[in-house]
């Protein structure tokens, strides 16, 4: 609401910036038709510097001012003319209206008769005008009243105000007040808080934490759910990963904190595209909107940080302000998954995006393995987003901790696994895309019990046999393993790899082959019939190809 009140003011000049304070209390008796009462006018002059004065006009009885204390409720422009003015100012301070605008690109507008309604955090420009003399530039003192406190916020024709404190009810207004030596105008401002609280994605694929403790369930984004372990008073939004099949619609439920309860518009945007806009009203301090369609995934594998911007408008869409943004890692699979999906598997399956068919999808998924630098999700304190910097090893120690499945390897504190675990990881990562593959068991050639993977050493430079505990030296460099230049194991009685529609894949070593003969030639260095006596495969005249059998 806007009102205009004329004030009677006496100005006292402070000579030469003296620090003394002069207080004059004048008691006047006034008789009215309805009775008689006392009005005390206390004029307080405070030192602001040479030729500047501050004038306070109040209407309380003198006994309330014991010891010179000025009650806080007096310090509001509704009861006084407040300001620091040049003495004997010649400025034309007449004005009769306050106008406003939300940004510098628009024209100033007339304040509605019932005041302004703004969002918490809004930055609003105000300007005083004189309708009879539009070219005049009044120089009032500005104040912002919130609760029982009124603070000076500037002086001049315009002022910019940021509304930081939300109203507690529909009649709890902040007041923007412009005051000159003979005029005071105030604007009531209702400050509404609207803040994104929770986002829950619907009908997506289940993603399981690598540690197997839980799956990522709704809400997938939650403000302030994670506390900073170093500072109890700092928190971050929780942001779970989500997964959908290519070509599918993504739907969600969203919740906002909102008070006091007013009618407003909410809209959602993904990039520049608006996907939702509706008029809503808060109930019990919150706004809940269900089953919003935000995006339809393309018909290809994708890896997207899905950032949705939410905005609110309190004037039917004329002005919009951000009320929050949720960001979630989105994995888009080629087809529906056919396996339990651990988070690292989704990361490996989708981070090389773009495939629209099975052949390209296999190639792109393999790209996560071929450089032998596979990393898993770090199992530490929750953070806003998962971090994938935990190296997984192929035979970091002699026996690979005996871990033979993807679950055991992902949950192994030593971060390593045997060939069975690595074959299982690639096999199931393909299954995230709905792609069928087989784990193949590779055995030594007929007549042999063991084989050794390149490279090993049987004889030294002088032709002498070099054996360590009856076995070849395996410490020389050969085919690297995952995150191991030289794996600690090279001699096996069996090995596991993966077969797809286009050939063999060995994720333990990051190598591929079109057929059994090519794989044998590429991988095998030595053979043994009893585990003690070894010979180079290239020296054996008979056929010595490995044997391949589908394991599952």
Closest Cα to residue 398, out of 315, 313, 468, 306?
A: 468
Task: Say whether pLDDT at 502 is over 60.
Answer: yes
The values of phi and psi at residue 106, to 5°, are: -110, 165
User: C-alpha angle 209/213/215, rounded to 5°?
Assistant: 50
Would you state the pLDDT for residue 130?
A: 86
- Greatest mean pLDDT among 23-32, 197-206, 467-476 lies in 197-206
What's the CA dihedral at 59, 64, 68, 73 to 10 degrees? -60
Tell me: pLDDT of 380 over 50.
yes
CB neighbourhood size of 177 (10 A): 22
Which residues in 271-301 belong to E strands, given as ranges? 273-281, 286-296
pLDDT score for 199: 98
Q: β-pairing, 388-391 with 273-281?
A: unpaired
Burial track 198-209 (b if 16+ CB lie within 10 A, e otherwise): bbbbbebbebbb
18: pLDDT strictly greater than 50: no
Residue at which a domain ends, from 333, 368, 390: 333
Same domain, 220 and 72: no
Q: Looking at the structure, do residues 318 and 367 belong to the same domain, yes or no?
A: no
- Nearest Cα residue to 343 out of 211, 232, 436: 211
Instruction: Please check whether residues 379 and 315 belong to one and the same domain.
Output: no
CB contact at 8 A, 249 and 224: no
- Same structural domain, 373 and 433: yes
Domain match, 280 and 369 both: no
> Is the pLDDT reported for residue 10 higher than 80?
no
Q: 267 and 382, same structural domain?
A: no
Residue 57 has pLDDT above 70, yes or no: no
pLDDT higher than threshold 50 for residue 22? no
pLDDT value for 234: 58
Question: How far apart are the C-alpha atoms of 123 and 106, rounded to whole Å?
Answer: 14
Q: Report the pLDDT averaged over residues 91-118.
A: 88
Residues in the chain: 552
Q: Which of 176, 160, 1 is nearest to 77 (CA)?
A: 176
d(CA 141, CA 173): 20
Residue range 249-276, pLDDT digits in tens: 999 999 999 999 999 999 999 999 999 9
Average pLDDT over residues 429-446: 98
Residues 545 and 397 in one domain: yes
> Which residues form the domain of 24?
1-90
CB contact set of 446 (below 8 Å; sequence gap of 6+): 547
Residue 174 within a domain: no
> Quick check: is 25 in a domain?
yes
Q: Is 362 exposed, middle or buried (0-12, 13-18, 19+ CB in 10 A)?
A: buried
Q: How many domains does the chain have?
A: 3
Q: How far is it, in rounded angstroms, from Cα 49 to Cα 274?
A: 55
d(CA 214, CA 143): 54
Q: Hunting for tokens 């008029």 — which residue is that?
A: 279
Residues 6+ apart with CB under 8 A from 518: none
Alpha-carbon distances of 267 from 256, 293, 308, rounded to whole Å: 12, 12, 10
1 and 82 inside one domain: yes
Over the stretch 472-484, which tens digit does the pLDDT of each residue have? 999 999 999 999 9
Helix 343-350 / helix 419-431 crossing angle, nearest 10 deg:
70
414, 527: one domain: yes
Lookup: tokens for 74: 């007096």
What's the mean pLDDT when you consider all of the chain?
A: 83
Report pLDDT for 92: 53
End position of a domain, from candidates 56, 90, 124: 90
Contacts of residues 198-202 at CB distance under 8 Å and 24 or more positions apart, as own/partner, are: 198/222, 198/223, 198/254, 198/255, 199/252, 199/253, 199/254, 199/255, 199/308, 199/326, 199/328, 200/252, 200/253, 200/254, 201/242, 201/250, 201/251, 201/252, 201/328, 202/251, 202/252, 202/253, 202/291
Q: Rounded to two decimals, what is the model's pTM? A: 0.79
> Percentage of the chain with pLDDT > 70?
80
Distance CA 162, CA 164 (A): 6
Instruction: Please indicate, yes or no, if residue 28 is contained in any of the structural domains.
Output: yes
The answer to whether residues 506 and 372 belong to one domain is yes
* Strand partners of residue 250: 295
* Domain shared by 244 and 385, yes or no: no
pLDDT value, residue 526: 95
pLDDT for position 245: 98
Do residues 394 and 481 make contact, with C-beta atoms less than 8 angstroms apart? yes
- Checking if the pLDDT of 37 tops 70, the result is no
Q: 468 versus 454: which is more confidently predicted?
A: 454
Residue 86 pLDDT greater than 70, yes or no: no
Mean pLDDT throughout 99-125? Answer: 93
């Amino acid at each position: 609401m806007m009102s205009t009140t004329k004030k009677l003011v006496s100005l006292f000049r402070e000579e030469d910036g003296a620090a003394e304070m002069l207080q004059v209390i004048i008691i006047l008796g006034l008789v009215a038709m309805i009775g008689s009462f006392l009005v005390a006018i206390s004029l307080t002059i405070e030192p602001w510097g040479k030729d500047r004065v501050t004038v306070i006009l109040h209407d309380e009885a003198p006994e309330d001012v014991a010891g010179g204390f000025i009650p806080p409720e007096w310090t509001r422009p509704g009861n006084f003319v407040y300001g620091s003015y040049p003495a004997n100012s010649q400025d034309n301070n007449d004005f009769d209206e306050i106008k406003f605008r939300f940004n510098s690109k628009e024209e100033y507008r007339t304040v509605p008769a019932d005041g302004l309604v703004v969002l918490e955090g809004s930055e609003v420009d105000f300007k005083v005008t004189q309708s009879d003399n539009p070219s005049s530039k009044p120089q009032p003192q500005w104040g912002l009243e919130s609760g029982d406190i009124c603070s000076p916020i500037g002086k001049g024709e315009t002022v910019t105000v940021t509304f930081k404190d939300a109203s507690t009810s529909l009649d709890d207004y902040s007041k923007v007040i412009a005051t000159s030596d003979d005029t005071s105008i105030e604007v009531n401002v209702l400050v509404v808080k609207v803040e994104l609280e929770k986002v829950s994605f619907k009908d997506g694929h289940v993603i399981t934490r690598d540690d197997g403790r839980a799956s990522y369930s709704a809400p997938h984004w939650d403000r302030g759910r994670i506390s900073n372990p170093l500072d109890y008073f700092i928190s971050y939004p929780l942001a779970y990963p989500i997964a959908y099949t290519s070509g599918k619609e993504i739907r969600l439920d969203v919740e906002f904190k909102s008070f006091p309860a007013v009618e407003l518009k909410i809209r959602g945007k993904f990039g520049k595209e608006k996907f939702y806009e509706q008029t809503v009203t808060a109930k019990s301090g919150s706004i809940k909107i269900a089953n919003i369609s935000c995006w339809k995934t393309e018909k290809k594998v994708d890896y997207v940080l899905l950032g949705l911007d939410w905005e609110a408008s309190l004037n039917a869409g004329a002005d919009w302000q951000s009320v929050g943004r949720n960001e979630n890692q989105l994995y888009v699979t080629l087809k529906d998954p056919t396996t339990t999906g651990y988070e690292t598997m989704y990361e490996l399956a989708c981070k090389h995006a773009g495939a629209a068919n099975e052949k390209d999808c296999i190639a792109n998924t393999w790209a996560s393995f071929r450089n032998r630098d596979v990393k898993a999700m770090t199992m530490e304190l929750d953070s806003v987003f998962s971090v994938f910097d935990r190296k997984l090893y192929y035979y970091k120690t002699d026996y690979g901790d005996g871990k033979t499945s993807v679950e055991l390897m992902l949950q192994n504190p030593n971060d390593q696994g045997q060939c069975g675990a690595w074959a299982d990881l690639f096999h199931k990562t393909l299954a995230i895309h709905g792609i069928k593959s087989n784990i193949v068991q590779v055995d030594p050639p007929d007549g042999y019990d063991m084989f050794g993977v390149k490279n090993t050493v049987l004889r030294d430079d002088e032709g002498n046999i070099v054996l360590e505990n009856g076995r070849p030296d395996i410490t020389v460099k050969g085919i690297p393993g995952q995150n191991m230049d030289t794996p600690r194991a090279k001699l096996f009685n069996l090995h596991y790899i993966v077969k797809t529609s286009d050939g063999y894949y060995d994720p333990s070593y990051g190598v591929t082959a079109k057929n059994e003969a090519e794989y044998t030639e590429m991988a095998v260095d030595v053979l043994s019939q009893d585990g003690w006596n070894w010979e180079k495969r290239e020296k054996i005249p008979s056929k010595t190809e490995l044997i391949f059998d589908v394991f599952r």
